[in-house]
Amino acid sequence: GIVLELLKEAMVSKLGDTQGFLIDGYPRELKEAEEFESKIGEPKLVFCLGCSAETMSSRLLMRNQSSQHTDNAKTIKEGIESYYQASKAVIAYYERKTQLCKVN
């Protein structure tokens, strides 16, 4: 709820200054997509940026080396699997609404 309210405030404050918005990484779950539509509105287009689990894992491991993140390979793998499970419903939801644009 907090993220949605922050998004709404930011979007409303810029309504006259923009032709649209690009929101990165949201919604992550179907419930968030439904709440976004009921409180803000239906998006005109949703991008799904495809990336293999191997590519994500190697990038996250490289990020760990250059920052203070301490995730190990097992933690990263579990996080990626969790992400794929949660995003399946969101992707299917927007595919049914014909708003989804998949980018490999």
> Which domains are present in the chain?
2-102 (3.40.50.300)
Residue 72, SS3 per DSSP: coil
Place of tokens 């495809």: 50
pTM of the complete model: 0.75
Residue 66 has a pLDDT of: 66
In this predicted model, what pLDDT tens digit does every residue of 44-59 receive, in sequence order? 899 998 888 888 888 8
Residue 69 has a pLDDT of: 65
In this predicted model, what pLDDT tens digit does every residue of 56-91 receive, in sequence order? 888 888 877 766 666 677 888 888 888 888 889 999
**Contact present, 84 and 76 (Cβ < 8 Å):** no
Residue 36 has a pLDDT of: 92
